[in-house]
Amino acid sequence: MKKRMAQTSISLLYALREAADACDERMTPICAMAGLTLAQFNLLYLVVEEKRTRLGELAENSRCVKSNVTYLVRSMEADGLLEVSADPDDRRVRHVRATPKGTKALRAALRAATQLEKALRAGLGEKAIDDAAERLMAIAHRLDGL
C-alpha cells in the first residue's frame, strides 16, 4: 500500500509540473504580445491584482529569493513598468507600485489570457475549471505550509 501512495504522490507532482509547463508555454507568447516577460507579468500581477507592495512581500509571494526580485524590480523600474519608493516611516522598507505603462501592459496580457481561459472552460467545463482552480490553490497553500 505504501508503494502505491508514493507513486500517486509522484504522479500528482508530475501532473502539476506538466500543467505549469503547459501554461507557461501558452502564457509566454501572450505576455510577449503585451511587451512583458512571464516573470514581469507575474510580478505585475502581484503588484496590481493582489495589491502586494513591499519588496519583501513580493519576494515571498513570487517564491523567489529577494535578490532575484530586487533585480527584476530594478529592471522593470528602468523599463518604466514599476515605481519604487522608501517607506516614510521605515527607510529599510521599499514599496513597489505599477506605473500606468505597467498597468496597461498587464491589462493587455490579461485580456489575451482571457481567451486561453475561455478555451479551457469550453473544453473542460465551467465547474471542472472552477474546481481545479480551487484545488490548485489549496495545494499551493498546503505546499507553502510544509
Model confidence at 97: pLDDT above 90: yes
Q: What is the CATH number of the domain that holds 137?
A: 1.10.10.10
Tally of structural domains, the chain: 1
What is the pTM (predicted TM-score) of this model?
0.83
Mind spelling out the 3-state secondary structure of the chain? CHHHHHHHHHHHHHHHHHHHHHHHHHHHHHHHHCCCCHHHHHHHHHHHCCCCCEHHHHHHHCCCCHHHHHHHHHHHHHCCCEEEEECCCCCCCEEEEECHHHHHHHHHHHHHHHHHHHHHHHHHCHHHHHHHHHHHHHHHHHHHHC
pLDDT band per the 50, 70, 90 thresholds, residue 144? confident
| pLDDT given at position 4 | 52
CA distances for 101 relative to 12, 13, 32, 47, 53, angstroms: 39, 37, 15, 13, 17
Domain span at 61: 2-145
Q: What is the pLDDT of residues 118-132, one digit of tens each?
A: 999 999 999 999 999
pLDDT over 90, % of the chain = 66
Query: Distance (Å, rounded) from C-alpha 23 to C-alpha 8?
Result: 22
Model confidence at 3: pLDDT above 80: no
Q: What is the pLDDT of residues 8-54, one digit of tens each?
A: 667 888 999 999 999 999 999 999 999 999 999 999 999 998 887 88
Model confidence at 1: pLDDT above 50: no
